[in-house]
Structure 1
């Protein structure tokens, strides 16, 4: 990877562990959101309560293989972040899907254009039980 540092506003958090290098990709900036926006009226809390969150996915380079753990919520954003690392979306060889919530799988398709696969040459891995529930 050709990046060795990050700034406060960066979307990429690089790491290395043993022979594996990687990056956590922040797709949307951290934001605070009122819990009440997410709860039915009967469960709403004090208006001062909020929840901070960010959508992320993880890129790994292990034994010269390009792997993505989940695809995030926006394929165009993740592909752009990968290109900052010098990696084309077409270079991703494996996408591991941890679960099928929208923020983990919506990025499998590009939003710009005609909804093509973001990672056209990748194999996709998902737990057999999860696949059976789709």
Structure 2
């Protein structure tokens, strides 16, 4: 989180913010660490997690607290909060803009396999308030 915050501060200084609106995204994720699990097991686990969520036998938050290797977000139901495109892993950045609120999908990254849901619709903001909430 600290690494992402420092990167955000560098990328979106006051000068950059004033140049136009910023689009903010809100996603949740469950990281299945492929340094721990084989790729085929990670894929099976992701399908199982998604099935439970889609069939309402479990919630995304419950599954995140059980399975996510991301210890910073697992206690918050996998919630990554609001952020600007370009701050997260490139694979997540590319995938999240293609989906809408409520979508459930998987994304591979160097960290492993992510089960992702879009928690809210993207928001555009030209002011500093939302950005400051993200940074602070």
Same fold (TM over 0.5): no
Bigger helix share = 2
Q: Which has the higher contact order (CA 8 A, sep 6+)?
A: 2
Which of these two proteins has the greater Rg computed from alpha carbons? 1
So what's the TM-score if we normalise by structure 1? Answer: 0.23
